Structure 1
Amino acid sequence: MQLNYRMHFCMIEQNITTEGKHLTGCSEPISNSELIGFNIVRKAVCVWSAFTLKIDVVLNCWHQKMYNVTGKNLIMTEIVKSVDVEMMMNVESEKPGDEMHEQAIEEYRRKLAEYADVETRLKEIRIHVNSLKEEYDKTENDLKALQSVGQIVGEVLKQLTEDKFIVKATNGPRYVVGCRRSIDKKKLIQGTRVALDMTTLTIMRQLPREVDPLVYNMSHEDPGDISYTMIGGLAEQIRQLREVVELPLTNPDLFIRVGIDPPKGCLLYGPPGTGKTLLARAVASQLECNFLKVVSSAIVDKYIGESARMIREMFNYARDHQPCIIFMDEIDAIGGRRFSEGTSADREIQRTLMELLNQMDGFDALGKVKIIMATNRPDTLDPALLRPGRLDRKIEIPLPNEQARLDIIKIHAKPITKKGIIDFESVVKLSDGFSGADLRNVCTEAGLLAIRGERDYVTEEDFMKAVRKVGEAKKLESKLDYKPPYFATVGDIASLIRKEHQNVCSVQFYTCDNLRYAYSAPFESLLKSTFYLRINDSVHLVQVPPDFYEKLLETRSTDVVRLMELFGTAQKSNENTITENLKLLKEELQPLENKLQILSEKARLKSKRLMWLGLGFLGIQAGILARFTWWEYSWDVMEPVTYFVTYGSMLFSYCYFLLTRESNEYPSVDKRLSMSFTYKAADRHGFDFKRYNELKENCRQLEEELRQLRRQRSMIFKA
Structure 2
Amino acid sequence: MVAITNYYAGNYLRLSVSIRKAQFCSSPPTDKVTIHYRLGLPSIEVPLPSRQEVCSFTVRPLMQTVADFLNHIKQEDGGIDYLAIYDSSNTRISKSTPLETLLKTDFTLMINEKKYSANAAMASDNLANIEEEQGMSRLKTMVHQLYTGLNVDEYEIRREKELQQKLKKLQEDIIPVQSKLTEMTDKAESRSSRLMWGGLAFMSIQFGFLARLTWWEYSWDIIEPVTYFVTYGTAIVFYSYYLITRKDSIEGIHDRHFLIGLHKYAGKNGIDLAKYDQLKNDIVRVEAQINLLKNSRAALSRPEDH
TM-score (norm 1): 0.12
**Higher fraction of helix:** 2
Higher relative contact order structure (alpha carbons within 8 Å, sequence separation ≥ 6): 2
TM-score (norm 2): 0.24
